[in-house]
Structure 1
Amino acid sequence: MISYRQVNLLLKRNVVYQLLRHSHSDLPSARLFPLKNRKLLKIQGNDAPVFLQGLITNDMRHFEEGSKSMYAMFLNNKGRVLYDTLIHKWEGAESFLIECDEEVLPMLQKHLKIFKLKRKVDIEDINQKLRLWALITKSDDVIDTNINTESNINVYKDPRLADLGFRVLSTTDMDGAQIAGKLSKDIAVENTDTEYQYLRYKLGVSEGSTDLPPVKMEEPKSKEEAVQLIYDFKCASCNLEEKVHYKGTSPPFSRNIVLKYPGYVMKDPFSPNGKGEILVLGADCAICNNAVCISKECSLFYLKTYCLNCASNFVDKFPAEIRSKLAQIKNVK
């Protein structure tokens, strides 16, 4: 089993960057991926910058300093992550586009309207007009990111990592071939975003409600009710069965512990009352969604939990160190 120290080492940006940059440089050409699960909300009005400044984890003043895009999260009143977003500068000084996961679009729109109050802002769903693409290029390629309204295309550098390329916003009546032609680049147009998702995971970048579930799982109203919520956990590999008290990322009976991924959690039966210590039995496989325990004979952890069967089937998608670890586990078995 990978130790927490090893996981923390793998998560360090410089290590991951050196391990994975070669894989990125092997892309045959610039590639354009449709991001069908990403949607847009337009926030416009005199109070738009101040309105968003009070709701996000980043600083809207970056746009005054010349930034065109930035990464930001929306939090609830307890400081827990609700939604991860990209915010793009749009037309005019007080106009922005919030890019979010398709599943959280209605919740984010509702969240914004709750805090709007008397602010002079308009909140508009513009997904009937605009759509999103991811453009991945080689490091020596140059893309013009200046807004070109005549071509109905807007290009933004991804603010998270250079290896994630660019976000392309186009009108809905344009297809990938038309966009590639407008950019005047040798661009291969993909039908799905599967390879883009692989690249994201290799770079250790989380995105959307699958990777960062919003706080919406069933939570007890009080700590006294926590012990009454029971979930059945059964490992799909070794058939370990157990009753757990919680499934999610923020066990209400723990002391401010937040997991990086949704897991099956039970109160530590050997911990004194009131200590809030927990046991994490396992999690759902990130590929097949089957529950697996944390035993090294049943699962592999790299940013997410994978059952050994899925990890073996997608072994070429993992960094070299993880492939080596998987090979050792299989040899032991």
Structure 2
Amino acid sequence: MNRFRPSLLVHGRCLHHLQNAGPVCSHLKSRSVIRFSGPDTIKFLQGLLTNDVRRFGEPPCEDNSAIPTPNVASVVVPPMYAALLTPQGRFLYDFFLYRPPQPEEKLDRTGSGPGSGSGGSVEILADVDRSLLDELLATLKKYRLRSKVDIENLAEDFSCWQRYGWNLSGKTPAVEEPEAASVGWGGGVDRSGKSASHGNDVGWLWFKDPRLDCLGFRGIFPSGRSPPLVESDKETDEENYLLWRLGKGVAEGSTEIPKGEAIPLEYNFTGLNGISFDKGCYVGQELIARTHHRGVIRKRLLPLKFLDNNGKEVEGRVAPGSEVINPASNKKAGSVTTALGFCGTGVLRLDEAFKGSNSLIIQGQEDIKVETIRPDWWPSEWFQDQKHTAMA
């Protein structure tokens, strides 16, 4: 049996190895962490972001979004994906939001069940794009005005991680990986294991990625130590996580989702659980609501492969921003947004992307064909949108 080796995963040609790899983890050095705290935290974020942040103000409940750890009560608030937009409804920044559990929310006094919750001010951590951290902090503080909310840079204290790959499940770690059975609370606790798993009693856990189950698990953990379920032979470069996402047609961060230009619905934020349509007003909400209720999205982000005339994969020759055209009609289908090896993503017109002729090429590089892929997580109604678009 072939054993997965992270070192083998280099650029697009090793995507095939990744598709068959067991669960692996990547430290997301492209992401950073900020903290919101104070009595107006929920109100402040609710008026800014695309998702309904009020859920973080509700009492925690039993939930299966986290990988359970033996003897730890599963009293959690699942994370949330959201975006901050321009007033014109264009993408600026994305956020993975977490409400850290309070110590008293983990277990009751008997150590056998959920605690009652803190009842105090809500604290929220956000996993954000590191390359634009200073700009993001300045933008948030501009919107803060007189709101009683503190915004702190925790880039040195916490790190962002992703756990993904083939055969990934939400089973109890003791079942999925027996070596994790000692990590937990209560009798027979491995204290070093508990520290690694929960970040000095704060309660850090792996959570299901709030966008799609197929993306795996995501978490924020104290810097300087490995999260639970991470071993030296299972940690791999962040570039491989990018490859994993490219294969699913999921963009992340302001490099892959052009800041000030991208329309979130074209980048599939609805299917990625990143937008609430009944939360009320937020920055940029008017355009998003109008586009959504109009019903048809003519362009969407989708996975691409770059091939030569013989159908062989072409690596490293396509750059982001390259235009994709149909040479038969000389119509522009869209453009490449991200490329790595022979894989990429692009925002393409659906009527051109799925004609079935496989005739799309890169403009100016007519020897490179573009193969479009239908993500299996797309809702069926998006294909109906495609039919309506083709008939229009």
* CA offsets 1:134-190 (integer angstroms, 9 cap, x no match): 11152445256998233774322210000111113222211xxx43xx438897111
Give 2:49's match in structure 1, choosing from 53, 56, 65: 56
Any residues of structure 2 matched to 1:57-206 within 5 Å, and which? 57-63=50-56, 64=58, 66=60, 67-92=77-102, 94-137=122-165, 138-142=167-171, 148-150=198-200, 153-174=204-225, 178-179=226-227, 182-183=228-229, 188-190=234-236, 192-206=237-251
Overall identity of the aligned pairs, in %: 26
Would you say the 8 A contact 1:37–1:101 is kept in 2? yes
Measure the CA separation in 1 of the matches of 2:162 and 2:360: 33
Measure the CA separation in 2 of the matches of 1:302 and 1:24: 31
* CA offsets 1:188-236 (integer angstroms, 9 cap, x no match): 111x21121111121121111122121289xxxxxxxxxxxxxxxxxxx
Q: Give the gaps of 5 or more residues in structure 2.
A: 1-15, 61-76, 103-120, 174-182, 185-196, 263-296, 302-315, 347-353, 370-392
* CA offsets 1:218-274 (integer angstroms, 9 cap, x no match): xxxxxxxxxxxxxxxxxxxxxxxxxxxxxxxxxxxxxxx99868xxxxxxxxxxxxx
Distance 1:258 1:101, change over 3 A: farther
The residue that corresponds to 1:46 in the other structure is: 39
* CA offsets 1:111-131 (integer angstroms, 9 cap, x no match): 211121221111000011001
> Aligned partner of 2:209: which letter?
D
The residue that corresponds to 2:358 in the other structure is: 325
Measure the CA separation in 2 of the matches of 1:197 and 1:322: 27
Question: What SS is found at the alignment partner of 1:40?
Answer: strand
User: TM (normalized to structure 2)?
Assistant: 0.49
- Deviates further, 25-34 or 45-54: 25-34
> Aligned partner of 2:24: which letter?
R
Would you say the 8 A contact 2:100–2:123 is kept in 1? yes
**Which structure has more RCO (C-alpha within 8 Å, separation ≥ 6)?**
2
Any residues of structure 2 matched to 1:21-40 within 5 Å, and which? 26-40=19-33
Question: What SS is found at the alignment partner of 1:183?
Answer: coil
Any residues of structure 2 matched to 1:267-282 within 5 Å, and which? none
Following superposition, the deviation at residue 323 of structure 1 comes to 12
Would you say the 8 A contact 2:82–2:96 is kept in 1? yes
Measure the CA separation in 1 of the matches of 2:337 and 2:136: 30
Question: What SS is found at the alignment partner of 1:118?
Answer: coil
CA RMSD of the aligned region, Å?
4.5
Following superposition, the deviation at residue 82 of structure 1 comes to 1.5
Measure the CA separation in 2 of the matches of 1:99 and 1:331: 37
Would you say the 8 A contact 2:30–2:129 is kept in 1? yes
Any residues of structure 2 matched to 1:233-312 within 5 Å, and which? 287-289=318-320, 291-292=322-323, 294=325, 296=327, 304-305=335-336
Distance 1:140 1:115, change over 3 A: closer
The residue that corresponds to 1:246 in the other structure is: none
Measure the CA separation in 2 of the matches of 1:139 and 1:151: 26
Would you say the 8 A contact 1:198–1:317 is kept in 2? no
Distance 1:317 1:293, change over 3 A: closer
Q: Count residues in correspondence.
A: 237
| Structure 1 stretches of 4+ moved >4 Å | 23-26, 143-147, 184-187, 257-261, 289-293, 299-304, 315-318, 321-324, 326-332
Would you say the 8 A contact 2:161–2:219 is kept in 1? yes
Would you say the 8 A contact 2:94–2:128 is kept in 1? yes
> Aligned partner of 1:212: which letter?
I
Question: What SS is found at the alignment partner of 2:55?
Answer: helix
> Aligned partner of 1:169: which letter?
I
Following superposition, the deviation at residue 69 of structure 1 comes to 0.6
Question: Higher strand share goes to which structure?
Answer: 1
> Aligned partner of 2:99: which letter?
K
Question: What SS is found at the alignment partner of 2:20?
Answer: coil
Question: What SS is found at the alignment partner of 2:98?
Answer: strand
> Aligned partner of 2:220: which letter?
L
Would you say the 8 A contact 2:92–2:260 is kept in 1? yes
Would you say the 8 A contact 2:326–2:359 is kept in 1? no
The residue that corresponds to 1:213 in the other structure is: 258
Measure the CA separation in 1 of the matches of 2:151 and 2:31: 17
Measure the CA separation in 1 of the matches of 2:170 and 2:96: 23
Measure the CA separation in 2 of the matches of 1:212 and 1:260: 12
Distance 1:326 1:53, change over 3 A: same
Distance 1:52 1:325, change over 3 A: same
